[in-house]
Structure 1
């Protein structure tokens, strides 16, 4: 009986130490390198809400990072995600190589969707958009500037991959 009590006591101490240590370590340190954090609905909503403030802002290919009076597709995603503490590379091609792959059927608000230039141009990524829910995506290109488009329109035939960062 005494041996069983010692085992129970040791197990309780181990659990208490684990809980104490885990609570004391920031979440960014508690996960192994390269492992994604749990999806954040609030960060995704904040990205879309902030993106709405830039609707109509003009498109400029190669727009510099951090500038808000013009964007290209990847400077827009980089800017909006940085405001949520997520640092993305500068180009859509570089961004497409990061994050956690998500199939189209499992897209959530805030996921990034990557596209190629044309249906026949191979799979080289040249455009990025933010999934906004309900089949819509927030992005910027050409004459409309920052705008919403439906994914199932022109863009579906140019889809390459989608990734989760939030």
Structure 2
């Protein structure tokens, strides 16, 4: 049920907000219908519209468009695959034209610290997955879920931050300032 709720939230935003510049709304709806997601959501889409702002929904829709793209260390595109920070960087660049630093630890250092209780869709969530702080990053989607490129052999996917693995490795949350210049160094 939770997966359906998160999907409803994300898809509702896709349907009722402005489409990304390079993708028409009809294409997004068609893709979601082909995956059978639209049929399962029903009236939950209405609630989703009121839960997110236009900018965050654009970012989340764009990130969800990368679901299933293979993981590749150092990867930063659909063609090459993504690692965690490459995914975050690509989503922010394509959604807002905002250039983030390349590595997860650099992204953490270059963005605004926020409390976990203040997380909003589009915020960055960081984890210690390699015995060092800020070694993994994802994009918060809402309802405790985040999207990320997990590891070699995996693909971009959505996971729940509340499960034991992620909960014990959580390092902090950050917000990307959208006004002004690029954040940090590329």
Q: TM-score normalised to the size of structure 1?
A: 0.69
- Whether 1:116 and 2:128 are equivalent positions in the alignment is yes
Alignment of 1:118-133 (within 5 A): 121=131, 123-133=132-142
The answer to which structure, 1 or 2, has the higher relative contact order (CA under 8 A, 6+ apart) is 1
Counterpart of 1:30? none
Q: TM-score normalised to the size of structure 2?
A: 0.62
Match for residue 169 of structure 2 among 151, 158, 161:
158
Counterpart of 2:42? none
Bigger helix share: 2
Counterpart of 2:146? 137
CA distance in 2 between counterparts of 1:117 and 1:48 reads 23
CA distance in 2 between counterparts of 1:87 and 1:45 reads 19
Cα deviation, residue 98, structure 1: 1.4
CA distance in 1 between counterparts of 2:103 and 2:168 reads 21
Counterpart of 1:36? none
- Structure 1 or 2, whichever has the larger Rg, is 1
1:62-101 per-position Cα deviation (integer Å, ceiling 9, x unaligned): 11x4x21310000000000011122110010100001111
| Matched pairs, number | 122
- Whether 1:92 and 2:104 are equivalent positions in the alignment is yes
Counterpart of 1:76? 87
Cα deviation, residue 141, structure 1: 1.2
CA distance in 2 between counterparts of 1:110 and 1:50 reads 11
Task: Could you tell me which runs of 5 or more consecutive residues in structure 1 were left unpaired when the two chains were aligned.
Answer: 1-39
Task: Could you tell me which runs of 5 or more consecutive residues in structure 2 were left unpaired when the two chains were aligned.
Answer: 1-51, 179-186
Counterpart of 1:48? 60
